[in-house]
A and B are shown apart, each in its own frame.
Chain A
Amino acid sequence: MHKAPKLATKLFHWASGQAQNEDLLGDLQELYEDKLESKGEFRARLFYWLEVIKLSFSYALRKRKKDRSFSNYYSGQKLNTMILNYIKISIRNIKKQKLFTGLNVFGLALGMSVALLCLAMVSDLKQFDRFHQDSEDIYRITTKLTTSGDRNHFASSPPALAELLRNSTQQITNSAVINDHFFPTIKSLGEPIQMYGYYTEPSFLELFDFKLQRGNANVIDNPRSVIITHELAEKLFNSTDVIGKTVETERDGIFEIGGVLAPFPQRTHFKFDLLANISGTNRGNNIGAAGWTDFSGNYFYFKSEASRGDLETIVSNLGQSGQAFFDLESSQASYHVQAITEINPGPNYSDRIGVIFGYDGLLYFIGVSLMVLIPACFNYINMAIANTLNRTKEIGIRKIIGSPNKFIIRQFLVETIIVCIISLLLSTVLFNLVKGEFTSMLVGAEALTFEMTPLVIIMFLGFAILTGLVTGVLPALYLARIAPISAINNRASNKKVSISGFRKGLLVFQFILSLSFMIGIGVVLRQYSHTITYDPGFAKENRIILPLESNNVAVLQNELQAINGVEDISFSSNIPGLPLNKTNYFYSDDLTDSILVREVYISEEFIDKMNLKMVWGESQLSDVQFEQVLVNEKLLSLLNNIENNPQDSLIRQLADRQVQIVGIVADYNHEPLNERIEPMVMRLNESAYNYAIIELNGVNGDATLANIEAAWNKLQPESQFQPRYLESIVAQSYDFMFTAMKIFGFLALISITISSLGLLGMVVYSTENRRKEVAIRKILGANAMTLFGNLSGMFLKLWLIALLIAIPGAYFFYDNLFVNIYNKFSGGVHFAEVFVSSLLTIIIGLSAIFWQSRRIIRINPAENLRND
């Protein structure tokens, strides 16, 4: 045999790739030998080279290469079949290990539920204000103010700048100025309705897609006309056919309704009930210094097709002309444009308008959801690795048959993704259960719809797959690394009995989370019961609150007083125990300092009938020379030198009139206990009464109520009789604490479940690794307690570490931070909740250990040892 050209042979091998070429090379060799004999070496070599090149490009070789790629062992182009195969095997495995899968699915579903909420919220926010026509071209101007080093970014902008822009810039095709300092209170059915309005101009309805159902936009050119929303019309009149009707407000006079808006999408940052004209007010003043520096609550929205860079330049240039006025206040103003679609979610500017979900709040929320999700993912990793021992044979056989590592990695990734998708289904159910609660506790969250659009569903699915990939990659890599021989011998490569410090740390972290949340429930529960039983300083038993409609209180009083069972009647502008919305200014002696005070109007009997205590003076008020008022101790402490000059100093300035302080009421909690006791002034004004407070004698309340209703209907047949017990009103005002409790309960449930699952995973891991040890111990005569004691020792150590961190942490958090927010509630963390939560975690932990230890001990030791 002669050597054929080596390089040509090599080239041919390279050209063949995976294809079989043995027979071809053999043929070539034979032909080469023949040529060598007949034609000589050079011709033979040349011939060989040419033949190799021709063969390399021949159909024969191409076909063989193509066939080769379809081999049973090499998936290459048949990924679809392989994925189907992965899915099939995954489903078999999932079915085989119901407990393992069940725990994982449950844990991941809990972990994902908060993240889904977060995801749905972000996707909702991304839709905000997109419904306006050309929403990408709508901008507003924001103002950055630097005063002696302090920077502040406002969502509002000077009205003078808006005026300049309008007059000198052609690029602006449409615009609207808005002032949001419009909070009319409408008197309706005795209960005043606080509304949010905007002072604006007719172009507001052209710039934004708020469609009119009735009337036209120009009516608000008239300063006494308003356009109201569909919802407000329904609320006030039960109809939308209300053009020409009037609304009477407490401070802003009477408005005529000139238009009703059609219902519009909730996904907008604007939040208003009515629109009124801006030019008829002193708002939006765009002249002189005030037009520049006094810009609080003034917003300028405009539409322009110019690029943002151009707009920024125009706005900055025009803004220069107002700098002189800011110089007087030694501040520096700069202006920016913000697209309306970037307001939500967006930066947290000061002086904002409407509903804003800032980046920081969103980040906090994302943080919480990751805090819940990540432990769940780690649990999965832990349990998947702990479960290795059940899978090593499968992996060994796959590897011996010829499966490369990447196939095994893919197998486990697919498995994790399937588990995640099952979890997603459960999680979506959870999501739908909690989203209502969530919206109710978030300010402005009614704008979030949480609709399950196809996009949201795709996002959820994508999220589940991503979670699966991230979670699955670690166990997959770990399992793929196992050497086939040791796998088939059931000797997992990592045969450590101990558990790594990282996993211990994770478990401690999970314990801390669940302990803190459980303590949190206890704290809120305790504070709730404290709040309910706490004596606010006024009598709330046996008292009925009746909303008033007419101001003819004397008649009502006489009528009701005559009813058997009614002890007394008093009147007030506000229900005790509920927040006070009226404020006023009380001036100090020298009139230089003003004190913000809460204002309540009461009838003469109020103090007596509500069992309020007087510190000093008279509780009866009358209007002699000056208006007589009562103040509380808190206000007294802020007013100086009362004692020095009793006669004069009792005459004080309240807003624009002089009043005489005739008595001092002992501090009591007129407002809910989450508010501090604020300075308060009590005045006498018959026309300001909103409620009658009727004291019953406590005997046969229902009959008395029926009698009162009869009297009421006789007096005011057209208005409804809506009595409520003061006690239940006060209790209801603390309903928000139930929400807090629900949040803590939900988070505690999630983290307790997740940490128990994590613990279980670790226990399974260490018991599985100790099979042989236990078997030998058992043969030598040990009992179940040895293993149990051994494992419990480890667990107790971790638990103690968690306790040492969690308890001081919880004390600090709930005692300082939490209790400071809900001021007045009695002291935070108690021994009871610490004890109960510790006990609960330790019981869960020990029972997991006990369960697994028993399982391992029950196995016949011969089973575990016969292979050695």
Chain B
Amino acid sequence: MKGYLGEFEELVLLTIANLAEEAYGTTILEMIEQQANRKMSLGALHSTLTRLEEKGFLVSYLGEPTAKRGGRRKRYFEITQSAKEALNNMKSLRDELWQNSKINLSVG
């Protein structure tokens, strides 16, 4: 289903937004590992990135080669307008649900 955002996909998009200019495979992976404390393989991450690109939430371009990468170029990712819209929709839905909750959700 086009436009549907999975939980992990949302996480990836927000991570890319956090990284801004520095969003490429390794940094995204490391940030998710640190912030969300999730272990995952590079293959799984790139598969998600590829799918997001297919859905039109991401665009990618090749950057400059660096020595640390053995002279290989980085593929940078950028979120698109439709990704922003999807994220906003997701957030407003959640906010609404939070506000209308009949049970007090606050902890401690």
Contacts and interface: CB of A to CB of B under 8 A. Distances in A.
User: Do A and B originate from a single complex?
Assistant: yes
Given A54-B41, A55-B41, A26 B47 contact: no
A23 B42 contact: no
B43 A25 contact: no
Nearest to A51: B42
B73 A23 contact: yes
Given A25-B70, A59-B51, A51 B41 contact: yes
Given A27-B69, A54-B43, 14 more contacts: A4-B70, A23-B62, A23-B75, A24-B25, A25-B69, A26-B69, A27-B46, A27-B74, A31-B26, A31-B29, A55-B42, A56-B43, A57-B43, A63-B54
Interface residues of A, number: 26
A58 B70 contact: no
Nearest to B69: A26
Interface residues of B, number: 26
24 contacts: A1-B70, A4-B70, A23-B24, A24-B25, A24-B42, A25-B70, A26-B25, A26-B65, A26-B66, A26-B69, A26-B70, A26-B74, A27-B29, A27-B69, A28-B42, A34-B26, A34-B30, A50-B41, A51-B42, A55-B43, A58-B43, A60-B47, A60-B50, A64-B50
Contact of A59 (B24, B47, B70, B73): B47
Contacts of A30: 25-26, 68-69
A51 B68 contact: no
B1 interface: no
A26 B42 contact: no
A656 interface: no
A1 B26 contact: no
A33 interface: yes
B44 A58 contact: yes
B103 to A, nearest CB: 39
Given A54-B42, A55-B41, A29 B49 contact: no
Interface string A315-358: 00000000000000000000000000000000000000000000
A575 B70 CA distance: 107
The 8 nearest A-B residue pairs measured at CB? A27-B25, A58-B43, A26-B72, A60-B46, A23-B75, A26-B69, A54-B43, A59-B47
A29 B69 contact: yes
B67 interface: yes
Interface in B50-69: 50-51, 54, 62, 65-69
Contacts of A61: 43, 46
A1 B67 contact: yes
Interface of B: 24-26, 29-30, 41-44, 46-47, 49-51, 54, 62, 65-70, 72-75
Contacts of A64: 50
A542 to B, nearest CB: 101
A150 interface: no
Query: Which has the most chain A C-beta neighbours within 10 Å: B68, B70, B72?
Result: B70
Contact of B43 (A4, A22, A33, A60): A60
Contacts of A59: 47, 50-51
A33 B51 CA distance: 28
Contacts of A50: 41
Given A23-B24, A23-B74, A63-B50, A29 B68 contact: yes
B24 A51 contact: no
B75 to A, nearest CB: 4
A27 B24 contact: yes
Query: Which has the most chain A C-beta neighbours within 10 Å: B44, B49, B65?
Result: B44
A684 B88 CA distance: 124
Interface string A28-65: 11110110000000000000001100111111110110
Given A26-B73, A31-B26, A1 B41 contact: no
Given A57-B43, A60-B43, A29 B70 contact: yes
A297 B69 CA distance: 95
